[in-house]
Amino acid sequence: MVATLVIFLREGIEASMIIAILCAYLDRIGQRKHFVDVLAGAGTAFALATVGGVIAYYSIHAYGGSEAQKVFETATYLLAASVLTYMTFWMRNHARTISSELRAKTEAALDSRARSGLFLLAFQAVGREGLETVVFTLAIIFSASAKGAMLGAGIGLTLALVLAFAIYRFGTRVNIGIFFKAVGALLMVFAAGLLVDAVENLQELGWLPVLTHPLWNSAHALSEDSTFGDVVHSFFGYVSRPTPFEVATWVLYVGLVLTAFFGLWQRPRTLHAPAVPIGTENDR
């Protein structure tokens, strides 16, 4: 639940923030008539991502308990961890310029075929977030409770939409850099858990037959089958009987990516991204 809540909150805010920036700029230049094109593009992308995710889930669910499902799960874990890492660093480096980039694209769309251009701009932006969210959600559902994952997703998406509306309606200034820095750090830990799940599957499949003897067994203190154990496992990668390879994977990944992310080796300027005005009041 916690994992999908954070994922949907983060992805929902990024997608809705993009729509809020587009609508705020259109409002500022007196082009509110094109709101419907932006919202249509966003809605279409959201619907297609949802349908695609449901089809993917039920397609692989039909092979429940088979080696094919385990292979698909492993591929999903590795893909989700890779995309999470990439998108978190990408947003860290672009948080400062995302608003100006979107306004430039909006102007280009208005200069040509406005309706189709704005539709495609919103569709592309939300579609990218939707595809990422589908991959992450599949990875979470395969490693945790489906019911809890869906509940967390609903709460996270609702919070994201409420915050996005407040940003647009009341002209709030949002420090995008700080938000994505904090959430990004949490998602790095989540990505480490996905890598641990991938290692566990690879060892069970016999594709990684090294360092397979468990270091300890903490199931008596916290079972992965319990509600809290399921939450800790899905978000932090907790394993009651971890192998040396799983522990090494988690420690190395978290140590390396968080060190790079927080700039202890090289501190990028975009970490100090200023508050970006999104609402219409600040555009005037």
pLDDT digits (tens, 9 = 90+) for 24-46: 778 777 777 878 888 888 889 88
Give me the residue label for tokens 């970490």: 271
Q: What is the reported pLDDT for 244? A: 94
> Could you give the 3-state DSSP secondary structure of residue 173?
strand
Q: Yes or no: say if 196 and 239 are a contact pair by the CB < 8 Å rule.
A: yes
The pLDDT profile of the chain, 284 residues, written as one tens digit per residue, is 666 777 777 777 777 777 777 777 787 777 778 788 888 888 898 899 889 888 887 877 776 667 787 888 888 889 888 888 887 887 776 666 666 766 677 767 666 565 677 788 888 878 887 887 888 787 777 666 667 777 878 888 888 778 777 766 665 555 556 766 777 788 788 889 889 989 998 998 889 988 889 999 998 898 887 877 877 887 778 888 999 999 999 999 999 998 888 875 554 444 444 444 444 444 44
d(CA 84, CA 140): 13
pLDDT in tens, 220-275: 898 887 877 877 887 778 888 999 999 999 999 999 998 888 875 554 444 444 44
CA distances from 86 to 90, 92, 220 (A): 6, 10, 37
Give me the residue label for tokens 């919070």: 159
In the chain, what are the domain boundaries? 2-283
Amino acid at 20: A
Q: Yes or no: say if 159 and 9 are a contact pair by the CB < 8 Å rule.
A: yes
CA distances from 129 to 100, 134, 208 (A): 19, 9, 32
Task: Provide the whole-model pTM.
Answer: 0.68
Q: What is the reported pLDDT for 202? A: 93
d(CA 261, CA 139): 23
What are the φ/ψ torsions at residue 279 (nearest 5 degrees)? -70, 165
Report the share of the chain in percent with pLDDT over 90.
Answer: 11
